[in-house]
């Protein structure tokens, strides 16, 4: 069995998914789950791209122990310096430098001849090597590069010190047989290839990212780059859970394994979906809501007679076991904190106090409190970078003969603000009231509601995406009352909007509105 290196790029390429911006704190939360998942490399971001990305990579490098932390850089001094600075605190670090090699990129994007590209790639690896002994080089758009030139570049960068050479199918153009042959060609024709790990990085434009990655593994790739839920630029990247489970379910075919604890897959999927606001399609392989549901009578009958008639993996293998009843109305703070730590969740004391108060309120309303409920509450208590507004009170009136009205009280820096408004429904009324209180009127780009557990008394989790002055953020909120969850989600997003990068614009606007 070969051990395949799982290089997770959810926080870098995954975050390039339209609308999926994550704060540094959220990236750190996901990185913690990636550690529990057992990935080998976490690509935290592209530090030159934004101060937020640089900060996120730094926070991950400072905090996360175990996996190697990687950061992306173009083959330019400023990029490599920024990535190296952000990675400095990491115990195990990797500089990931890239430069496009395909004719179309050389001619139109870079306007450089082959020789220049070769020189720049070798220089970049040598320069990166001064900061880190672990250096990965990616010839961007490799799958559309002439194989002879690609081999020449790979040989040269390995000579310059690259320890991993990554073969990106940047535009999702490859076909599995062809991509497998490309990797085979590299194994056979790059003379010093045994000194580096061959990696692949496949995009999903034709829906073939996972197939291409698996074909590459079959032909000698030792690392795959992938993302949780397959999120990423355009149609996304190869999905981590699909690759890992393919190797697990078909070991006799691939003769390869990973270090992933597959029982952490569902938690990782949920966390990424919640924090990015990118909903998982119900029929998504492995983590979609329907992935283990049998609808047809014939299938149900078969599964009841013998599970293996229609199931190739067990729900428990991905962490989808029966929901556990964990705590009740009489459970104390200590038991609550212990259960959270069992779920791998750490909270500051004030956040723990708030989460405990909400758990008690929930236990009063809801007969059974499940792990999923606790996770929803706790994720709700993870403060955005700057929690300017807190929800203190929400009351709505609505019905077939009633004008939907909301009264909301927010607390801001110790002061309470209250207002009321009417709307097209109770949620709209809440959002109009919050807009009046904050003086902002962001566009609601997306709204989603789902039940965290089964049953009529389930906790409802709302995710929203707001757009305001060019910035787009997601927010989430959870409660057994879906109106309250809606208000919480909206406020969570508003708090993100007015933190850091957009704060100045917000303050200016506030001043103009309330001089
Ligand atoms: O898709 C791509 O080519 C990339 C590289 C930077 C690895 O994301
Ligand atoms: Zn990519």
Whether the per-residue pLDDT at 400 is higher than 50: the answer is yes
Q: What is the pLDDT of residue 355?
A: 86
Whether the per-residue pLDDT at 301 is higher than 90: the answer is no
How is residue 177 written in tokens? 């047989």
Whether residue 225 has its Cβ less than 6 Å from ligand 1: no
Q: Which of 146, 207, 138 is nearest to 172 (CA)?
A: 207
CA of 12, closest atom in ligand 1: 8
Q: Which of 127, 129, 117, 180 is nearest to 154 (CA)?
A: 117
CA separation, residue 87 to residues 70, 204, 494 (Å): 7, 29, 31
10 Å CB burial of residue 41 (0-12, 13-18, 19+) is buried
Q: What is the pLDDT of residue 368?
A: 65
In whole angstroms, what is the distance from residue 137 CA to residue 80 CA? 12
How is residue 231 written in tokens? 């999120």
Whether the per-residue pLDDT at 80 is higher than 60: the answer is yes
Q: What is the three-state SS of 203-243? A: ECCCCCHHHHHHHHHHCCCCEEEEEHHHCCCCCCECEHHHH
Average pLDDT, the chain: 90
Best mutation site among 12, 140, 150 for ligand 1 pocket (most ligand atoms within 8 Å of CB): 140
Confidence band, pLDDT 50/70/90 cuts, at residue 361: confident
Whether residue 170 has its Cβ less than 6 Å from ligand 1: yes
In whole angstroms, what is the distance from residue 250 CA to residue 61 CA? 34
Q: What is the pLDDT of residue 279?
A: 86
Mean pLDDT of 237-257: 98
Mean pLDDT of 68-95: 98
Lowest mean pLDDT among 173-187, 312-326, 367-381: 367-381
420 contacts 407 by C-beta, under 8 angstroms? yes
**CATH number of the domain located at residue range(s) 390-513 in this protein:** 3.30.160.270
Confidence band, pLDDT 50/70/90 cuts, at residue 507: very low
Confidence band, pLDDT 50/70/90 cuts, at residue 414: confident
Q: What is the pLDDT of residue 324?
A: 57
Per DSSP, 318 falls in state G
291 CA to centre of ligand 1 in angstroms: 29
Domain edges within the chain? 2-276, 293-379, 390-513
Q: Which of 503, 488, 486 is nearest to 383 (CA)?
A: 488
In whole angstroms, what is the distance from residue 292 CA to residue 510 CA? 50
Whether residue 79 has its Cβ less than 6 Å from ligand 1: no
Best mutation site among 43, 174, 203 for ligand 1 pocket (most ligand atoms within 8 Å of CB): 203
Which tens digits make up the pLDDT trace of 206-216?
Answer: 999 999 999 99
Name the 3-class secondary structure at 418.
strand
CA of 141, closest atom in ligand 1: 3
Whether residue 74 has its Cβ less than 6 Å from ligand 1: no
Which tens digits make up the pLDDT trace of 461-506?
Answer: 898 888 887 777 788 898 989 999 999 999 998 988 887 444 334 3
137 contacts 163 by C-beta, under 8 angstroms? no
Kindly report the CATH class assigned to 2-276: alpha beta
CA of 171, closest atom in ligand 1: 1
Q: What is the pLDDT of residue 474?
A: 81
Q: What is the pLDDT of residue 385?
A: 56
In whole angstroms, what is the distance from residue 422 CA to residue 420 CA? 7
């Amino acid at each position: 069995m070969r051990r395949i290196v799982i290089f997770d790029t959810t926080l870098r390429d995954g975050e390039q998914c339209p609308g999926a911006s994550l704060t540094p704190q959220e990236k750190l939360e996901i990185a913690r789950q990636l550690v529990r998942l057992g990935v080998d490399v976490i690509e935290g971001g592209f530090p030159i791209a934004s101060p937020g990305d640089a900060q996120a990579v730094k926070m991950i490098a400072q905090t996360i122990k175990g996996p190697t932390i990687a950061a992306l850089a173009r083959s330019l001094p400023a990029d490599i310096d920024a990535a190296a600075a952000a990675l400095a605190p990491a115990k195990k670090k990797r500089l990931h430098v890239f430069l496009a090699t395909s004719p179309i990129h050389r001619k139109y994007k870079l306007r450089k001849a082959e020789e220049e590209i070769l020189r720049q790639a070798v220089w970049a690896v040598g320069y990166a090597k001064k900061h880190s002994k672990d250096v990965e080089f990616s010839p961007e758009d490799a799958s559309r590069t002439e194989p002879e030139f690609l081999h020449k570049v790979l040989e040269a960068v390995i000579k310059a010190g690259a320890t991993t050479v990554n073969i990106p199918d940047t535009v999702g153009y490859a076909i599995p047989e062809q991509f497998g042959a490309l990797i085979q060609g590299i194994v056979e024709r790059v003379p010093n290839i045994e000194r580096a790990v061959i990696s692949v990085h496949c995009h999903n434009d034709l829906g073939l990212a996972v197939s291409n990655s698996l074909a590459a593994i079959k032909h000698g790739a030792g690392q795959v780059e992938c993302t949780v839920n397959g999120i990423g630029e355009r149609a996304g990247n190869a999905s981590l859970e699909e690759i890992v489970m393919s190797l697990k379910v078909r070991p006799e075919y691939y003769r390869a394994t990973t270090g992933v604890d597959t029982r952490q897959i569902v938690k990782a999927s949920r966390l990424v979906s919640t924090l990015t606001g990118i909903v998982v399609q119900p029929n998504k392989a492995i983590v979609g809501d329907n992935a283990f549901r049998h609808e047809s009578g014939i299938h149900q009958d078969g599964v009841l007679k013998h599970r293996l008639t229609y199931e190739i993996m067990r729900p428990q293998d991905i962490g989808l076991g029966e929901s556990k009843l964990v705590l009740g109305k009489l459970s104390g703070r200590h038991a609550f904190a212990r259960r959270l730590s069992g779920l791998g969740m750490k909270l500051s004391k004030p956040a723990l106090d708030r989460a405990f108060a909400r758990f008690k309120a929930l236990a009063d309303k809801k007969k059974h409190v499940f792990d999923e409920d606790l996770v929803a509450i706790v994720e709700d208590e993870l403060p955005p970078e700057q929690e300017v507004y807190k929800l203190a009170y929400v009351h709505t009136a609505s019905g077939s003969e009633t004008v939907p009205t909301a009264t909301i009280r927010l607390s801001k820096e110790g002061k309470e603000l209250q207002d009321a408004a009417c709307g097209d429904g109770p949620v709209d009324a809440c959002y109009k009231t919050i807009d009046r209180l904050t003086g902002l009127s962001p566009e609601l780009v997306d709204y989603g509601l789902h039940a965290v557990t089964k049953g009529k008394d389930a906790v409802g989790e709302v995710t929203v995406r707001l757009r305001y002055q060019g910035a787009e953020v997601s927010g989430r909120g959870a409660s057994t009352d879906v109106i309250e969850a809606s208000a919480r989600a909206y406020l969570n997003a508003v708090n993100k909007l007015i933190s850091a990068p957009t704060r100045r614009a917000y303050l200016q606007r506030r001043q103009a509105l309330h001089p």
